[in-house]
Amino acid sequence: MYRKLRKSFEDNKHEPGAADFYYGEMEMRRHADDIPRSERMLLTSYWALSGYGLRASRAIGWLMLAMTLTVLVMMLWGLPKDGSKSLTTGTVDGRRITMTSDTPDPINPDGSLRDRLSTERFEKSLRVVINSVVFRASGQELTTVGTYSEMASRIGEPILLGFAALAIRGRVKR
Protein backbone atom coordinates (compact mmCIF):
# COMPACT_ATOMS: atom_id res chain seq x y z
CA MET A 1 0.00 0.00 0.00
CA TYR A 2 2.80 2.44 0.96
CA ARG A 3 4.64 1.65 -2.27
CA LYS A 4 1.58 2.48 -4.37
CA LEU A 5 0.96 5.72 -2.50
CA ARG A 6 4.64 6.69 -2.83
CA LYS A 7 4.57 5.97 -6.56
CA SER A 8 1.43 8.08 -6.94
CA PHE A 9 3.04 11.02 -5.14
CA GLU A 10 6.21 10.67 -7.23
CA ASP A 11 4.17 10.65 -10.46
CA ASN A 12 2.48 13.87 -9.32
CA LYS A 13 5.90 15.44 -8.56
CA HIS A 14 5.11 15.76 -4.84
CA GLU A 15 8.53 14.76 -3.50
CA PRO A 16 8.03 15.55 0.23
CA GLY A 17 4.90 13.39 0.39
CA ALA A 18 6.63 10.64 -1.54
CA ALA A 19 9.52 10.70 0.95
CA ASP A 20 7.10 10.27 3.85
CA PHE A 21 5.54 7.24 2.19
CA TYR A 22 8.99 5.88 1.34
CA TYR A 23 9.88 6.04 5.04
CA GLY A 24 6.63 4.27 5.91
CA GLU A 25 7.23 1.63 3.24
CA MET A 26 10.68 0.89 4.58
CA GLU A 27 9.36 0.72 8.16
CA MET A 28 6.74 -1.84 7.10
CA ARG A 29 9.41 -3.90 5.36
CA ARG A 30 11.68 -3.72 8.39
CA HIS A 31 8.95 -4.93 10.74
CA ALA A 32 7.46 -7.57 8.39
CA ASP A 33 7.73 -11.19 9.50
CA ASP A 34 7.87 -12.65 5.99
CA ILE A 35 11.22 -11.16 4.94
CA PRO A 36 14.52 -12.91 5.71
CA ARG A 37 16.29 -12.03 8.93
CA SER A 38 19.39 -10.81 7.06
CA GLU A 39 17.31 -8.29 5.10
CA ARG A 40 15.65 -7.09 8.31
CA MET A 41 19.09 -6.60 9.89
CA LEU A 42 20.26 -4.67 6.83
CA LEU A 43 17.16 -2.46 6.91
CA THR A 44 17.59 -1.88 10.65
CA SER A 45 21.19 -0.78 10.05
CA TYR A 46 20.09 1.51 7.22
CA TRP A 47 17.40 3.00 9.49
CA ALA A 48 19.79 3.47 12.44
CA LEU A 49 22.59 5.02 10.40
CA SER A 50 20.64 7.39 8.17
CA GLY A 51 16.89 7.05 8.54
CA TYR A 52 16.67 5.24 5.16
CA GLY A 53 18.77 7.93 3.50
CA LEU A 54 16.37 10.68 4.61
CA ARG A 55 17.99 11.92 7.84
CA ALA A 56 21.22 13.79 7.12
CA SER A 57 21.77 14.75 10.75
CA ARG A 58 21.75 11.11 11.82
CA ALA A 59 24.33 10.14 9.19
CA ILE A 60 26.52 13.14 10.00
CA GLY A 61 26.27 12.37 13.71
CA TRP A 62 27.43 8.78 13.14
CA LEU A 63 30.21 10.05 10.85
CA MET A 64 31.46 12.47 13.52
CA LEU A 65 31.32 9.72 16.16
CA ALA A 66 33.22 7.29 13.91
CA MET A 67 35.85 9.91 13.09
CA THR A 68 36.26 10.84 16.76
CA LEU A 69 36.71 7.20 17.77
CA THR A 70 39.20 6.62 14.95
CA VAL A 71 41.22 9.70 15.95
CA LEU A 72 41.28 8.45 19.54
CA VAL A 73 42.40 4.95 18.49
CA MET A 74 45.10 6.47 16.29
CA MET A 75 46.36 8.70 19.08
CA LEU A 76 46.45 5.91 21.66
CA TRP A 77 47.60 2.88 19.66
CA GLY A 78 47.80 3.66 15.93
CA LEU A 79 50.75 6.03 15.61
CA PRO A 80 54.21 4.61 16.25
CA LYS A 81 56.31 5.67 19.23
CA ASP A 82 58.69 7.76 17.16
CA GLY A 83 58.63 8.83 13.55
CA SER A 84 60.44 6.22 11.51
CA LYS A 85 63.99 7.31 11.02
CA SER A 86 65.53 5.67 8.02
CA LEU A 87 69.14 4.65 8.33
CA THR A 88 71.36 5.24 5.33
CA THR A 89 74.79 3.76 5.12
CA GLY A 90 77.27 3.95 2.32
CA THR A 91 80.67 2.87 1.17
CA VAL A 92 83.08 4.59 -1.12
CA ASP A 93 85.10 2.37 -3.42
CA GLY A 94 87.27 4.41 -5.75
CA ARG A 95 84.84 6.43 -7.85
CA ARG A 96 81.81 4.36 -6.91
CA ILE A 97 79.45 5.08 -3.99
CA THR A 98 77.05 2.45 -2.69
CA MET A 99 74.15 3.65 -0.53
CA THR A 100 71.77 1.43 1.44
CA SER A 101 68.66 2.77 3.18
CA ASP A 102 66.74 0.83 5.77
CA THR A 103 63.45 1.88 7.36
CA PRO A 104 62.73 0.03 10.58
CA ASP A 105 59.29 -1.33 11.44
CA PRO A 106 57.13 1.06 13.47
CA ILE A 107 57.40 0.63 17.23
CA ASN A 108 54.19 0.45 19.26
CA PRO A 109 53.80 3.40 21.61
CA ASP A 110 54.50 2.82 25.27
CA GLY A 111 53.97 4.86 28.39
CA SER A 112 50.74 6.06 29.90
CA LEU A 113 47.67 6.74 27.79
CA ARG A 114 47.67 10.33 29.03
CA ASP A 115 51.15 10.90 27.52
CA ARG A 116 49.89 9.70 24.14
CA LEU A 117 47.12 12.31 24.07
CA SER A 118 49.30 15.14 22.80
CA THR A 119 48.62 17.91 20.30
CA GLU A 120 51.20 16.53 17.89
CA ARG A 121 49.67 13.03 17.93
CA PHE A 122 46.18 14.55 17.60
CA GLU A 123 47.20 16.48 14.48
CA LYS A 124 48.77 13.40 12.86
CA SER A 125 45.75 11.26 13.77
CA LEU A 126 43.33 13.83 12.38
CA ARG A 127 45.21 13.90 9.05
CA VAL A 128 45.04 10.09 8.82
CA VAL A 129 41.30 10.04 9.57
CA ILE A 130 40.37 12.85 7.19
CA ASN A 131 42.32 11.15 4.42
CA SER A 132 40.51 7.89 5.15
CA VAL A 133 37.09 9.54 4.76
CA VAL A 134 37.93 10.43 1.16
CA PHE A 135 39.43 7.00 0.30
CA ARG A 136 43.04 8.17 0.36
CA ALA A 137 45.91 6.50 2.13
CA SER A 138 47.57 8.85 4.56
CA GLY A 139 51.14 7.80 3.82
CA GLN A 140 51.79 7.90 7.56
CA GLU A 141 53.70 5.03 9.17
CA LEU A 142 51.22 3.23 11.41
CA THR A 143 51.34 0.38 13.88
CA THR A 144 49.36 -2.79 13.21
CA VAL A 145 46.38 -1.43 15.16
CA GLY A 146 46.64 1.84 13.23
CA THR A 147 46.76 0.06 9.88
CA TYR A 148 43.64 -1.96 10.59
CA SER A 149 41.85 1.06 12.05
CA GLU A 150 42.64 3.07 8.94
CA MET A 151 41.41 0.23 6.72
CA ALA A 152 38.12 0.01 8.63
CA SER A 153 37.63 3.76 8.52
CA ARG A 154 38.36 3.82 4.77
CA ILE A 155 35.38 1.49 4.34
CA GLY A 156 32.90 2.72 6.94
CA GLU A 157 33.32 6.48 7.04
CA PRO A 158 32.83 7.11 3.29
CA ILE A 159 29.61 5.07 3.50
CA LEU A 160 28.36 7.38 6.24
CA LEU A 161 29.43 10.40 4.19
CA GLY A 162 27.47 8.95 1.26
CA PHE A 163 24.37 8.49 3.42
CA ALA A 164 24.61 12.13 4.50
CA ALA A 165 25.04 13.29 0.88
CA LEU A 166 22.06 11.16 -0.17
CA ALA A 167 19.86 12.69 2.52
CA ILE A 168 21.00 16.24 1.73
CA ARG A 169 20.38 15.64 -1.97
CA GLY A 170 16.87 14.43 -1.18
CA ARG A 171 16.15 17.56 0.86
CA VAL A 172 17.54 19.92 -1.80
CA LYS A 173 15.68 18.08 -4.55
CA ARG A 174 12.34 18.74 -2.81
pLDDT at 68: 94
Among the residues of the chain, which ranges form H helices?
A: 2-11, 15-31, 37-50, 56-73, 113-116, 119-133, 144-173
The answer to whether residue 8 scores a pLDDT higher than 80 is no
H/E stretch holding 10 reads helix 2-11
Q: If we measure between CA atoms, which residue out of 148, 167, 172 comes closest to residue 47?
A: 167
Tell me the pLDDT tens digit for each residue of 102-131: 666 677 777 788 888 888 889 988 888 888
Those residues whose C-beta lies under 8 Å from the C-beta of residue 40, and which sit 6 or more positions away, are 30, 32
CB 103 within 8 A of CB 86: yes
Q: Give exposure, 94-115, as e/b (b: 16+ Cβ within 10 Å).
A: eeeeeeeeeeeebeebeeeeee
The answer to whether residue 152 scores a pLDDT higher than 80 is yes
Judged by DSSP in three states, 99 sits in strand
The answer to whether residue 86 scores a pLDDT higher than 70 is no
- Phi then psi for residue 29, to 5 deg, are -65, -40
pLDDT at 174: 57
pLDDT at 83: 61
pTM comes to 0.74
Residue 98: pLDDT band by 50, 70, 90 thresholds? confident
Tell me the pLDDT tens digit for each residue of 30-57: 998 899 999 999 999 999 999 998 889 9
Residue 65: pLDDT band by 50, 70, 90 thresholds? very high
Residue 85: pLDDT band by 50, 70, 90 thresholds? low
- Phi then psi for residue 167, to 5 deg, are -65, -40
- Phi then psi for residue 23, to 5 deg, are -60, -45
